[in-house]
Structure 1
Amino acid sequence: MFHFLSYLVSTSQSPKTKNTKMVTNCRIAYAFVIGLSLLIATAAEDPYKFYEWHVSYGTISPMGVQQQGILINKMFPGPEIRSVTNDNLIINVFNELDEPFLISWAGIQNRKNSFQDGVYGTTCPIPPGKNYTYALQVKDQIGSFYYFPSLGFHKAAGGFGGIRISSRPMIPVPFPPPADDYTVLIGDWYKTDHKALRAQLDNGGKLPPPDGILINGLSNGATINIQPGNTYRLRISNVGLQNSLNFRIQNHTMKLVEVEGKHTLQNVYSSLDVHLGQSYSVLITANQPGKDYYIVVSSRFTPNVLTTTGVLHYSNSAGPVSGPIPDAPASMSWSFSQARTIRTNLTASGPRPNPQGTYHYGGINVTRTIKLVNSAGQINGKQRYAVNSASFTPSDTPLKLADYFKIDGVYKPGSISDQPKNAPIFSVTSVLQADHKAFVEIVFENWENIVQSWHFNGYSFFVVGMELGKWRPDSRKVYNLNDAVSRCTVQVYPRSWTAIYLALDNVGMWNLRSELWERQYLGQQLYVRVYTTSTSPRDEYQIPTNALLCGRASGAHKGLLSVSGFEN
């Protein structure tokens, strides 16, 4: 405990704070309160991992043109988080930018703790020159995920990085340990400064197509080094802004083993479609020694196909890459078919030593059907996007804080319908009311000619069906009620629907959003308020003692200390 408190004392200061006796005393008090609350909130036997991140601007040239990027500890992409199931992650983030900043954790479920979710509906931004210490626990989780900046179109400038959560020792994993394990962050990219892109959207416009594609922050030259005869794990995440991507390796196949925390049937693919926000783990075997091979990433279903290449480098390579770059499959039907083959491995253990197939989701009665339809239009002459005609507009106060401090007028529960409206789009702070422990069906229906991608913070869900056309009740006849994959991000193909089953077992205020970042920014998101009358910490943790307070919540609770160490 002394080590933990010492760490917080040494890292909970603003970069520009003078080291005075008064500030030091405040730091000690602040650290003690945080440390005590965190130690109470988490099991003593679960390990702690400490991180100190400095978020700053820096000059980067990922596509050969200098531009302003967002770096974490001077790195682009940012440092990787490597953890084990049930680890407590203490991440002290210093904001050295000139505007507020937040980091969100795509896939980390933050059980009972949406206060730490890192999106504006739940968390106040870190002011410039200040810091905030996130306290997360990867409770009963494994798998491949990533983090990203959630405010101000910062994601277009960087600030993202990989997250890997390994199984605890003695928990069986359904494949032999690989010789090495690589994180591969792929995504489309703009040469334009993120502030200029944001201004274009704020002024009512749309974004042009991206300029290119990056692999681990590089438009060319990304290299994976391998030894002949070994097997390697690649954790592939699409951290981009606009496009679905296809990933492939010349003359090599990939065995899929995990999707966003769930072990899958080990199908073998020659290429893999990775839609926005999604993460996959594949195994590749180094069985083509003696030369180097192309790693290829290309955009999917776009008028002009963007392509970038990296190198799979054998240690005994006699020469550089050569030959034709392998093509991606051409048809949408191929992608549809591949998606249906991605299923749960019912014989594999997850983060706990029991087969995950013991959770028979297909035998649970659905208590509510929610149908969500994306759309586009204009409000007051400016481009906007909507869900069920509701175009999300941020409130002046995080919704979770308004809930906690009982501040009226910030939002209205039920301000978005759970069925599509045949009406023009309108601005609203969209909050869908839902009951704790309900088992719901959500249908995403896409009437547009683009591939949509949807992410639900705080949850994994079962992808039970996806088909062309409009969803109807008899569409349930084609649902997979046995081994559907459980994940947190799912695509919806053009003129198609995707259905998920979801147990609302995580109390809080949770963001459900489009992963097409222009659309998310201009309104295609909402919050789901999973509510219970219980005040037990078994259902939801109390607000963190170091919570930042802003908007109408500023000064709402004098017992909480701000990130600066002083009372709000």
Structure 2
Amino acid sequence: MEIRGIIFGVLLSLLSMVRGEDPYINHTWNVTYGIISPLGVPQQGILINGKFPGPSINTTSNNNLIVNVFNNLDEPLLFTWNGIQHRKNSWQDGVLGTNCPIPPGKNFTYRMQVKDQIGSFFYYPSTALHRAAGGFGSHRINSRLLIPVPYHDPEDEYDVVIGDWYTKSHTTLRKFLDSGRSIGRPEGVLINGKTAKGDGSDQPLFTMKPEKTYKFRVCNVGMKFSLNFRIQGHPLTVVEIEGSHVVQNQYESLDVHIGGCFSVLVTADKDPKDYYMVASTRFSKTVLTGKGIIRYTNGKSGPSPDIPEAPVGWAWSLNQFRSFRWNLTASAARPNPQGSYKYAKIEITRTIKLINSVSRENGKLRYALNGVSHEDPETPLKLAEYYGVADKVFKYNTIKDDPSSDVGTTVKIQPNVLSLDHRKFIEVIFENHEKSIQSYHIDGYAFFAVAIEPGKWTPEKRNSYNPLDAISRHTIQVFPKSWAAILLSTDNVGMWNLRSMITENMYLGQQMYFSIISPERSLRDEYNIPDNALLCGVVKGLPKPPPYT
């Protein structure tokens, strides 16, 4: 099967050359279990081609990405592509609301195009708490050569995946959640799957030549905590956030929330020696810290044991969010200047307020949005919709656009799907009444993160929105007892997952789906179901609907 997958990839590449299509980037992944010890404790991890973390994906705007996944685990598996917009193609999203999982011993080939995108992203397994065992890795999308970037080419680029880590297996953690318990506090923080011991035996994660500038692509792939990222003695110049070039401010450290990614420039202009790259938990009672070594090529000594302190409190993090601005003079994946998109002048056609809550149902912990704790049906929502049997699987619009403030008293456990009109411009308000920070992501879309403020949202709060240069991104954090507002155009047909990026919250129901349907059933709006699509649930064995034209 693996040889056939490689041959298929080669044939696709040759075919693209004949047709003049955008290039094809091919990967074949063998997903297995293996013993890893990132915190010194042997445990079962998920490896991709024997690697933990998994291999990096390196693409360029408009490349066609082909990933043939062989599932050699003992459980069904899916991968999701955090931040990749899958234009007209939610079939490749890799979550249980759109795809049947890959059975053990079988393979599935993802086919997607990174259309009109640049930036730093990552992938990870979306099923069965597999994320707690690994299976994640970085995905960079470079600008095409004909489109300039707003900074000089760096000497080199490095992918950095940071995240908190549990030494308990993913099956043990899943049993905790299934039995109604929390998974508790992680045991440590990893940088590229490791943390430095600091005893002189650590090998460098990265090297830098003196006086050269390097680009670090940093993503938080963790499960529970926001992380503060910093490098001893080196300021970080932010140049890109989740696919958007930004105004290039310098920071001593950055709060990277779960699911978020930053690209920063770092210049090797300090004393020639080793330096610690540091990631530590934020908003946690006990601070957990992970370290990695950056080595100057002419270095003469080890790193200083004095680790720079992280900031305290979430007000600092909120102020940092407010300092991020879109670079309106930079081009992106398209030759058109990004600043030509005047989002503040577009009429808002619908406002949806989402209030998160936590409660116990029959003694078991559940998380919810607007009083509904999402549960995945056996038949993926997208397949049920496409095959015309949605009424047998789920109901649309079981939550209100403007819920009452007491949504946390009781919850319903069922699929949570909102139907949205195609090609409208909507406003989504995330209101957090809890004492913990939240982080949300929407598949298939980039949205304008226009405001985060303390308190509760009212229509008058629109006066505090950033009307000019809010960043177009795919994650948004909501601080305790605060709200956040985003604006997005519902121009991408499909069934798209909105989820908490806090793994425990998502697993126990703090997620939902946006369904955007094109009545014309036209290829202009959405691709046909792939020929290799896996079928399960009530649609298995049904005749395939007529194709789009």
Query: Where does residue 461 of structure 2 map in the other structure?
Result: 475
Query: Per-residue CA shift, 1:408-438, capped at 9, x if unaligned?
Result: 3111111232222434111110001101111
Read off the aligned partner of 1:109 and give its amino acid letter: Q
Query: Where does residue 412 of structure 2 map in the other structure?
Result: 426
* Match status 1:364 vs 2:346: yes
> Is contact 1:145–1:279 with CA below 8 Å preserved after alignment?
yes
Read off the aligned partner of 1:386 and give its amino acid letter: A
Query: Per-residue CA shift, 1:504-537, capped at 9, x if unaligned?
Result: 1100000000000000000000000012202111
Query: Where does residue 114 of structure 1 map in the other structure?
Result: 90
Query: Per-residue CA shift, 1:191-212, capped at 9, x if unaligned?
Result: 0010000011011111110000
Distance 1:301 1:232 in 2: 30
Query: Per-residue CA shift, 1:293-326, capped at 9, x if unaligned?
Result: 1111100011111112111211111110114110
Query: Where does residue 361 of structure 2 map in the other structure?
Result: 379
Query: Where does residue 94 of structure 1 map in the other structure?
Result: 70
* Match status 1:10 vs 2:4: yes
Once the two structures are overlaid, the 10-residue window that deviates more, 406-415 or 240-249, is 406-415
Structure-2-length-normalised TM-score: 0.94
Q: Which runs of 5+ in 1 are unaligned?
A: 1-6, 13-27, 561-568
* Match status 1:413 vs 2:425: no
* Match status 1:514 vs 2:521: no
Structure-1-length-normalised TM-score: 0.91
Query: Where does residue 290 of structure 1 map in the other structure?
Result: 272
Query: Per-residue CA shift, 1:136-170, capped at 9, x if unaligned?
Result: 10001110000000000000000000000001111
Query: Where does residue 538 of structure 1 map in the other structure?
Result: 524
Distance 1:267 1:542 in 2: 43
Query: Where does residue 549 of structure 1 map in the other structure?
Result: 535
Query: Where does residue 498 of structure 1 map in the other structure?
Result: 484
> Is contact 1:154–1:194 with CA below 8 Å preserved after alignment?
yes
Query: Where does residue 226 of structure 2 map in the other structure?
Result: 244
Residue 325 of structure 1 aligns to a residue in which SS?
coil
> Is contact 2:344–2:467 with CA below 8 Å preserved after alignment?
yes
Distance 1:419 1:58 in 2: 47
Residue 115 of structure 1 aligns to a residue in which SS?
helix
* Match status 1:527 vs 2:521: no
Query: Where does residue 349 of structure 1 map in the other structure?
Result: 331
Query: Where does residue 441 of structure 2 map in the other structure?
Result: 455
In structure 2, relative to structure 1, the CA distance for the partners of 1:511 and 1:558 (3 Å cut) is closer
Task: Kindly state the Cα deviation for residue 39 of structure 1 after the two structures are TM-superposed.
Answer: 7.7
Query: Where does residue 190 of structure 1 map in the other structure?
Result: 166
Alignment of 1:318-329 (within 5 A): 318-329=300-311
Task: Kindly state the Cα deviation for residue 327 of structure 1 after the two structures are TM-superposed.
Answer: 0.1
Query: Where does residue 314 of structure 1 map in the other structure?
Result: 296
Query: Where does residue 120 of structure 2 map in the other structure?
Result: 144
In structure 2, relative to structure 1, the CA distance for the partners of 1:43 and 1:273 (3 Å cut) is farther
Residue 339 of structure 1 aligns to a residue in which SS?
helix
Residue 195 of structure 1 aligns to a residue in which SS?
helix
> Is contact 2:375–2:415 with CA below 8 Å preserved after alignment?
yes
Task: Kindly state the Cα deviation for residue 289 of structure 1 after the two structures are TM-superposed.
Answer: 3.0
Read off the aligned partner of 1:366 and give its amino acid letter: I
> Is contact 1:417–1:432 with CA below 8 Å preserved after alignment?
no
In structure 2, relative to structure 1, the CA distance for the partners of 1:128 and 1:403 (3 Å cut) is same
Residue 401 of structure 1 aligns to a residue in which SS?
helix
Query: Where does residue 199 of structure 2 map in the other structure?
Result: none
Read off the aligned partner of 2:170 and give its amino acid letter: H
* Match status 1:161 vs 2:137: yes
Distance 2:470 2:2 in 1: 43
Read off the aligned partner of 1:205 and give its amino acid letter: R
Moved >6 Å (runs of 4+): none
Query: Per-residue CA shift, 1:306-362, capped at 9, x if unaligned?
Result: 112111211111110114110011132111110001110000001011110000001
> Is contact 1:289–1:316 with CA below 8 Å preserved after alignment?
no
Once the two structures are overlaid, the 10-residue window that deviates more, 177-186 or 282-291, is 282-291
Query: Per-residue CA shift, 1:231-258, capped at 9, x if unaligned?
Result: 0000000000000000001111000000
Distance 1:348 1:216 in 2: 30
Query: Where does residue 109 of structure 2 map in the other structure?
Result: 133
* Match status 1:255 vs 2:237: yes
Distance 1:477 1:352 in 2: 31
Distance 2:19 2:268 in 1: 41
Residue 466 of structure 1 aligns to a residue in which SS?
strand
Distance 2:195 2:266 in 1: 22
In structure 2, relative to structure 1, the CA distance for the partners of 1:396 and 1:363 (3 Å cut) is same
> Is contact 1:263–1:344 with CA below 8 Å preserved after alignment?
yes
From 126, 146, 158, give the equivalent of 1:170.
146
Aligned-pair Cα RMSD in Å: 2.0
Query: Where does residue 3 of structure 1 map in the other structure?
Result: none
> Is contact 1:454–1:490 with CA below 8 Å preserved after alignment?
yes
In structure 2, relative to structure 1, the CA distance for the partners of 1:374 and 1:39 (3 Å cut) is farther
> Is contact 2:275–2:294 with CA below 8 Å preserved after alignment?
yes
> Is contact 2:147–2:335 with CA below 8 Å preserved after alignment?
yes
Query: Where does residue 303 of structure 1 map in the other structure?
Result: 285
Query: Where does residue 206 of structure 1 map in the other structure?
Result: 182
Distance 1:43 1:461 in 2: 33
Alignment of 1:27-38 (within 5 A): none
Residue 537 of structure 1 aligns to a residue in which SS?
coil
Distance 1:430 1:80 in 2: 33
Query: Per-residue CA shift, 1:387-411, capped at 9, x if unaligned?
Result: 0011001111000100111113111
Query: Where does residue 15 of structure 1 map in the other structure?
Result: none
Distance 2:539 2:271 in 1: 61
> Is contact 2:387–2:544 with CA below 8 Å preserved after alignment?
no
Read off the aligned partner of 1:416 and give its amino acid letter: I
In structure 2, relative to structure 1, the CA distance for the partners of 1:143 and 1:277 (3 Å cut) is same
Query: Per-residue CA shift, 1:241-281, capped at 9, x if unaligned?
Result: 00000000111100000011100000100000000000010
Query: Where does residue 485 of structure 1 map in the other structure?
Result: 471
> Is contact 1:418–1:432 with CA below 8 Å preserved after alignment?
no
Distance 1:227 1:74 in 2: 30
